[in-house]
Amino acid sequence: MTNSFALALHGGAGTISPQSMTVEKEQEYRAALGEALAVGYAVLQQGGSALDAVELAVRSLEDCPLFNAGRGAVFTHEGHHEMDAAIMDGRSRAAGAVTGVRAVQNPIRAARLVMEKTEHVLLGYPGADALARQHGLPTQPVEYFFTQQRYDQLQEALAEGRMRLDHSQALETEAPLMEPAAFPNEDPKKKMGTVGAVALDVHGNLAAATSTGGMTNKQYSRIGDSPIIGAGTFADNRTCAISCTGHGEFFLRAVVAHDISCLMEYRGLSLAEACRIVVHDKLAPVGGEGGLVAVDAAGNVALPFNSEGMYRASQTSADATPFVAIYR
């Protein structure tokens, strides 16, 4: 057992500037980030597990309609919600994930359920919802996930034709590695909504958790990087814990979370240097906008992003005060 512990979390990345937000709205975001940080930090401070800390921190963000996860999930093209989540335990690299869930109040709880109660790693809709109900996880009617802001975003996307019916054929015949234009449903510079958390506990264990509502106006049950182990979520006690946020197609192709771990394990790089190489040298040049939160086995924290802003917060056992930020 050590005396060191650390927690970092994010609430999404993208074109986020002081000019695009009112003072009141910024205060709401900062308060929500601070609340989620306090919830997870309290677990670590009391000697609890990193796994519990990241789950509770993410649940707090899922319950807040400000973020694109859980209650604040965006609308699909069909007008419903398809939520994804993943969680990973750095002790054994056990992991669980769900994709496309529609009724579970906290998708991150369903992801942990997959990890601890099944022999699988990733379950999709409708099976993931059925498993959650079978084990008594809280579910909600569609009205719970409705927010006017998200509905207005869908109407704007539909009106601007960012997902066209005549594009369905092109999607079906497109090459496996599709250009970003094959996903016109969302301007990645505007909305990259995902929430996530990473932690190191006093027992020396790492954990990561990520949850998202996906892309506004998405079709064809599109799945991004968040529920994919190694792409948007990863944890290994030997190296680090990572939770990503950004344009998921790029993070999937780059296997971002695992790549950072590999740079640390095989090249001996520090957490900060490994994150810098992947986020700024690999992702940015090809248009992979976004960021991530990370913590290593020594309790070092990294919060890199190549977008204009990223909702983020962190605190370690050595910190006197929590760190909460939005802009560069």
In the set 194, 210, 239, 316, the catalytic residue is 194
Provide the pLDDT confidence category of residue 1 given band limits of 50, 70 and 90: confident
Q: Could you give the 3-state DSSP secondary structure of residue 9?
A: strand
Provide the pLDDT confidence category of residue 178 given band limits of 50, 70 and 90: very low
11-20, 79-88, 113-122, 281-290 — which is least confidently predicted? 11-20
Edge-to-edge strands, sheet with 233-235 = 233-235, 240-246, 290-296, 301-302
Residue 167 in this model has a pLDDT that exceeds 50: no
What are the Cα distances from residue 152, in Å, to 81, 192, 205? 14, 16, 42
Interior angle at CA 20, CA 212 and CA 158, nearest 5? 55
Residue range 92-143, pLDDT digits in tens: 999 999 999 999 999 999 999 999 999 999 999 999 999 999 999 999 999 9
Chain mean pLDDT for the chain: 90
pLDDT at 199: 98
Edge-to-edge strands, sheet with 323-327 = 122-124, 94-101, 83-89, 206-212, 195-200, 6-14, 309-316, 323-327
pLDDT at 157: 86
Distance of alpha carbon 304 from alpha carbon 243, whole angstroms:
11
pLDDT at 179: 33
pLDDT at 162: 65
Is 194 a catalytic site residue? yes
Residue range 5-43, pLDDT digits in tens: 999 999 999 888 898 889 999 999 999 999 999 999 999
What are the Cα distances from residue 227, in Å, to 21, 22, 194, 210, 261? 29, 32, 11, 7, 17
pLDDT at 15: 80
Residue 187 in this model has a pLDDT that exceeds 80: no
211: which residues sit within 8 A by CB, 6+ positions away?
Answer: 58, 61, 62, 69, 70, 83, 84, 85, 86, 107, 108, 111, 194, 195, 196, 226
Which amino acid type is present at position 86?
A
Distance of alpha carbon 299 from alpha carbon 316, whole angstroms:
7
Distance of alpha carbon 208 from alpha carbon 198, whole angstroms:
4
Check if the beta carbon of residue 52 is closer than 8 Å to that of residue 116. no
Structure tokens at 16: 């986020």
The residue that leads in pLDDT, 168 or 54, is 54
Provide the pLDDT confidence category of residue 2 given band limits of 50, 70 and 90: confident
The residue that leads in pLDDT, 328 or 283, is 283
Whether a cis peptide bond, with omega within 30° of 0, leads into 126 is: yes
pTM listed for this prediction: 0.91
Residue 278 in this model has a pLDDT that exceeds 70: yes
Residue 67 in this model has a pLDDT that exceeds 70: yes
Residue range 208-231, pLDDT digits in tens: 999 999 999 999 999 999 999 999
Provide the pLDDT confidence category of residue 48 given band limits of 50, 70 and 90: very high
pLDDT at 192: 65
Interior angle at CA 85, CA 121 and CA 270, nearest 5? 85
